[in-house]
Amino acid sequence: MQSVNRIFLTKFIIFFIGFLQSFNCQANTMKLSLADSLFAAQNYQEAFSTYEDLLVNDEVYSPSMLLKMAFVAEGTGDYAKASFYLAKYYDQNPNPRVITKIKSLTEQANLIGYELADSDRFFKIATDFQEELTSVFSILLILSLILLVALRKKADQPKYYLPAIMFLILTFISNNFLFQASTGIVTGSPTLIMEKPTAGGKLISVVDPGHRVIIKSSKDIWYEVNWGGKKAFIKKEHITKL
């Protein structure tokens, strides 16, 4: 009897968690639709407040929402916020026109961190489809193992195990290593780029807001970042995570 009660309780908890997630998703969709209708009606401030609530509190956003937020922020003269939303959009949809717009808003012709090589674009596509890739590799791994069991009498040489080993490795890599690096945008003015996480370290550069950096790690009040292909450190208060 206890076993039956435990099974029922487990199923109920799973159902309840799924219901809550579905409810939250529906609520966020409704809130996003409301904000979009406000924006379409040119009630920009109300729309912006709803968008901001979704972004900050619910951590929900879409590329079009970010562009609309940048539009409203630019209209109110808050170029720093507009640049932030555009940089966050760029993280999802790398586009040269976005870089041009950020340069225009920040009045800087040479912004660091927006260059993307072909390998970066390939990795971006792979990370966007991480779950799908992991699922495909997992299914292929299971199928290869089933075939090995079914044909165990014939599959008596090491070469027959290669597909299973390959799919096992690919599944492990896609599940554990395909994730986007944390990025941020420089928002402090001026911002000091240091060689070491200390005020007494060597100064690499002094920059204005707008530059995009890849955040490697966090050390006390500093972020370790990739700056021009080299390790550098910036105080956390001068960076806003994207």
**Homologous superfamily (CATH) for 182-241:** SH3 Domains (2.30.30.40)
The pTM of this model reads: 0.64
- Reading the block at residue 22, the tokens are 């579905």
pLDDT tens per residue, the chain (242 residues)?
Answer: 545 455 544 544 444 444 434 444 566 778 888 889 989 999 999 999 999 988 888 777 888 989 999 999 999 998 888 988 998 888 878 888 888 898 888 888 888 877 766 566 666 667 767 788 888 888 888 888 888 777 777 766 777 778 888 888 888 888 777 766 788 888 887 889 999 888 888 899 888 888 888 888 888 899 999 888 888 999 999 998 88
What residue ranges do the domains of the chain occupy?
2-106, 125-176, 182-241
Q: Provide the b/e sequence for 143-155 (b: ≥16 CB within 10 Å).
A: ebeeeeeeeeeee
Closest CA to 176 of 119, 127, 242, 139: 127
Architecture of the domain delimited by 2-106: Alpha Horseshoe (1.25)
Residues in the chain: 242
